[in-house]
Structure 1
């Protein structure tokens, strides 16, 4: 951190810098402990290995104090929902020690609730000395929520599972057993969901207890003044960064469902308006909400915007309420970025991934060293089948067991940046969910994974190469199999920046290379049936490149060829690098080849 700035802010609140820093670190560590508690005590694969959850601590006014965001799209997601809940459902004076409030409703106070019905949020009010001082919260994707087929093409929220408005799961420390029974009756995996939900409450307890211990040690006045100092410091640092951007309006535009699937394309427009130390994300002109699940609640739109901004800023700026104080988000009501009931929202990540890429594209000319080329976008894949081989009665109440793609959601190539190649076969920036092991997926479902590997030439060529996509193939080993799929960047691939090439597009194939081979026409579609032993293969997109490929160090190209990330043909045709028979860079031939490619480009 900037020690002079930190000391100035701390002294302005009558504190020394060491105390402020110790309290800040303690609160951030506490948020991480909450997440760790949940993942270590949860039951479902999605949480115990995928770690699809995040934790936050708020003060009594609903300001974000500290965040343990495993999943970046959870950044700043819980504050708007908390404020809406306190305004419309549980005013602060109605809360008592031991309360735990639960919701999974996207439509809290407009659409600033949960991101979709599979995302459960718990808020535990924190009391100290009889006074409400804050909230300990966890946001988690629970197994068995989101309807019978979460990744199907829903057309309304009523198809997406049980919708729970803010309610007290615990009142004064007493569990509402009837409410818990109601929730578990509406899932096909009650055992796993009960374990996950109680693990979530345990994590919230850890946060509340830790917050109280901090107050015991330093006192209410010192801790709350330190919180004020942290927020002011983060706001000041953010303002300094925004002032580096010339005042103006910076625009970007994307098409969703760009291959025409499910009635697409759908247009997403963004204008970033910078004035002094303030920034507005304006989505005016984006299409209206659609009869499909890619509508994005405003809570998720807020998260995507703040992530895109924070990702460009120095990483030592604390992740609290400070940066958000300088940001305005104009998302027209009834649009794809702020839907109204009964719009379906389960696959809202289709929009959030694009928002992040749009922010980087819009800022590229003024912040070239801070932005990233397009990444892989949203990728969902879900299979399920009845397992009569090892589980004669099936895997859950519906006699089905399900599997994901053998990766975290949205795994592919990430875009390159000004000084580094993109990461390969990684969850997209805003997802960051861990990839469960192949073995655990096969253990829990009737599926056999045939291959999981990077595929050559999928990363966009550039001075800095885009990350490679993933080729993943699995085979059905159960009966009555069902398969749902969504991906992005199939018709329009992930774009590069500053002369960098696009990454490879996405592609789905059933029974590749066989007599019944079927290349799926659209990136997104309704759930389809599969037969036992059918094989599904997914090619995930590669990341866009950054800078002119002809400026890439030939030695790096040689390493890429040796690692099978780039073919010899692509090295010659895209990078202008020629090799000797011994596999070394032929420097004279390379110089000649690059000169010829540049001349051909100038004539085009």
Structure 2
């Protein structure tokens, strides 16, 4: 009876902790000023115990979440020992290389905020931690342009107290607001982030008060051990062995690419090691991944492969070892740029999926669309006079959705930002209200998903027109030359492309999928077709009715049904010709 009672209490407290973390995120989303947070939810949160072990995280941005632990550890070991904290303190940092390693924030726009949590003003019981993507922190450009060194990417803050015993550091506050092109948004989003931390502190304090200090500490330890045990059990199900894979980044040759990421996975019993030795050195550019981002991508990918019901906390990470040599694309060192680390982080996901496809065939998925961004800014005082602070410049853009890879028993998801990104599409209406842009098209691209027994997710076409002046456009995407690959006989998805002024005499297809700022004029249009996901399994094994339904829905053409799937469909009756289909499939 005692064991059952403790088991129930573990589950109750686990769900309470998750609820607190989710409330932290919702607080930031509902009180933020910038579109990237209030519409795209580009923020994350987590609760840690007194020993800086993560207890729960919100279901937010995967690449954010797993870096909060390493960043908190950096703060505690290199800058502020836990004994130095007082009630009302709040520490913030955005420095990827704080403390001399690359275990801080992932890039300068991701500001991490840490609030120690006290019981009865004297007993440290944990930490409330938030991360929020701020729209502009200075730098050469406000968008995702090509940079070579960290100082070009905005002002840097090693861990520093924004609040000391509840008193705000006004000098630091002014420095932050004077180093952004959008001080109004920055102020609102910082206040939203502070509110998120306060919600976390309040939630954990109430939980400890309800169940008692000693009891909750015991439950926290038991919860971590429970997640560790379940994770070990899942890893043990994989076949022991050593597995290799490699992937390319900057596959279109931009800035000297393609570069190679290499991985060796060593699976032995209940433990698993991810060794990136052999990966190319870091480059003079922003695609280098700090170690904290690489660790995040590893933890995320393994989590997608094992039982999703396992409580997410630091116990899940104990059986995992990550080896990433310093000075490589997966463990960047100062002073190299890392603003576009997501380009490499997305490749890390495909790298792990490819390596583990032999060890656990029934759980991996085919390649997805990868990292896709676009951001633009322009000025139009007649239609949008109030949206910006500097020259009344307004911004729009999004983390663009594409096709996800097919799964062992399901088609890939269509039109979704994939893997470590996980941001929703901001409504077109919201962007048009706030910025001088008109959206002309959003549509699904037929035949873009890789054919397979299970089809890859479909790509997305989006077109918008600039109705402002002095426009500055930035874009990032992957899979423009090497398309998302299929698995076990599945075919690749279609590659993506960017086009300026599509269908006009000034049409220009962008040569590279990532680059420097592009200056555009009033009335110019930008069209993006994203990559589709890779297929899984032999396309000729796909269920006839599924192919027919895809054709009826406009996802697959009649020509592709015949060529890729061996299914002959009468275009007038929209029925399968079984005899011709049988002949082709034979």
Counterpart residue number, 1:124: 115
SS at match of 1:427: coil
Counterpart residue number, 2:347: 354
Are the counterparts in 2 of residues 246 and 366 from structure 1 also a CA contact under 8 Å? Answer: yes
Counterpart residue number, 2:578: 587
Counterpart residue number, 1:177: 170
For residues 328-477 of structure 1, what are the structure 2 equivalents within 5 Å?
328-392=321-385, 395-404=388-397, 408-477=398-467
Counterpart residue number, 1:285: 278
Are the counterparts in 1 of residues 10 and 223 from structure 2 also a CA contact under 8 Å? Answer: yes
Q: Structure 1, unaligned stretches of length 5 or more?
A: 1-6, 596-604
Are the counterparts in 1 of residues 143 and 376 from structure 2 also a CA contact under 8 Å? Answer: no
Do structure 1's residue 227 and structure 2's residue 217 form an aligned pair? no
Shift of 1:366: 2.1
- After superposition, the C-alpha distances for 1:247-280 in whole angstroms (9 at most, x for unaligned) are 2211111111111112211111111111221111
Are the counterparts in 1 of residues 446 and 557 from structure 2 also a CA contact under 8 Å? Answer: yes
Counterpart residue number, 2:180: 187
Counterpart residue number, 2:148: 155
Counterpart residue number, 2:470: 480
Are the counterparts in 2 of residues 64 and 76 from structure 1 also a CA contact under 8 Å? Answer: no
CA distance in 2, matches of 1:128, 1:42: 29
1:133 aligned residue (125, 131, 143) = 125
- After superposition, the C-alpha distances for 1:409-443 in whole angstroms (9 at most, x for unaligned) are 14100000011101111011211111100011111
Are the counterparts in 2 of residues 503 and 542 from structure 1 also a CA contact under 8 Å? Answer: yes
CA distance in 1, matches of 2:384, 2:16: 46
2:86 aligned residue (89, 93, 96) = 96
Shift of 1:388: 2.7
- After superposition, the C-alpha distances for 1:450-472 in whole angstroms (9 at most, x for unaligned) are 10111110000011000011111
Shift of 1:506: 1.3
SS at match of 2:516: strand
Counterpart residue number, 2:33: 43
CA distance in 2, matches of 1:72, 1:163: 23
CA distance in 2, matches of 1:37, 1:480: 35
Counterpart residue number, 1:599: none
Q: Structure 2, unaligned stretches of length 5 or more?
A: none
CA distance in 2, matches of 1:496, 1:391: 45
Distance 1:393 1:216, change over 3 A: closer
Q: With the length of structure 2 as denominator, give the TM-score of the two structures.
A: 0.97
Shift of 1:395: 2.3
CA distance in 2, matches of 1:546, 1:389: 51
SS at match of 1:19: helix
Do structure 1's residue 255 and structure 2's residue 245 form an aligned pair? no
2:137 aligned residue (142, 145, 148) = 145
Shift of 1:15: 6.2
Q: With the length of structure 1 as denominator, give the TM-score of the two structures.
A: 0.94
Are the counterparts in 1 of residues 381 and 392 from structure 2 also a CA contact under 8 Å? Answer: no
CA distance in 2, matches of 1:434, 1:393: 26
CA distance in 2, matches of 1:134, 1:488: 39
For residues 497-536 of structure 1, what are the structure 2 equivalents within 5 Å?
497-536=487-526
CA distance in 2, matches of 1:584, 1:325: 54
SS at match of 1:559: helix
Shift of 1:146: 5.8
CA distance in 2, matches of 1:89, 1:535: 48
Are the counterparts in 2 of residues 150 and 346 from structure 1 also a CA contact under 8 Å? Answer: no
CA distance in 2, matches of 1:517, 1:410: 22
Counterpart residue number, 2:546: 556
Shift of 1:66: 0.7
Counterpart residue number, 1:314: 307
Please identify, of 15-24 and 418-427, the stretch whose mean Cα deviation from structure 2 is larger: 15-24
CA distance in 2, matches of 1:504, 1:557: 18
Shift of 1:401: 1.1
Are the counterparts in 2 of residues 453 and 470 from structure 1 also a CA contact under 8 Å? Answer: yes
Shift of 1:393: 7.2
CA distance in 1, matches of 2:386, 2:427: 25
Are the counterparts in 2 of residues 380 and 487 from structure 1 also a CA contact under 8 Å? Answer: yes
Q: Which runs of 4+ in 1 moved over 6 A?
A: none
CA distance in 2, matches of 1:393, 1:550: 57
Are the counterparts in 1 of residues 569 and 577 from structure 2 also a CA contact under 8 Å? Answer: yes
Counterpart residue number, 2:52: 62
Are the counterparts in 2 of residues 298 and 338 from structure 1 also a CA contact under 8 Å? Answer: yes
RMSD: 1.4
SS at match of 2:565: coil
Do structure 1's residue 113 and structure 2's residue 104 form an aligned pair? yes
Shift of 1:323: 1.4
CA distance in 2, matches of 1:335, 1:410: 28
Shift of 1:145: 2.6
Are the counterparts in 1 of residues 346 and 420 from structure 2 also a CA contact under 8 Å? Answer: yes
SS at match of 2:315: helix
CA distance in 2, matches of 1:139, 1:21: 26
Please identify, of 525-534 and 388-397, the stretch whose mean Cα deviation from structure 2 is larger: 388-397
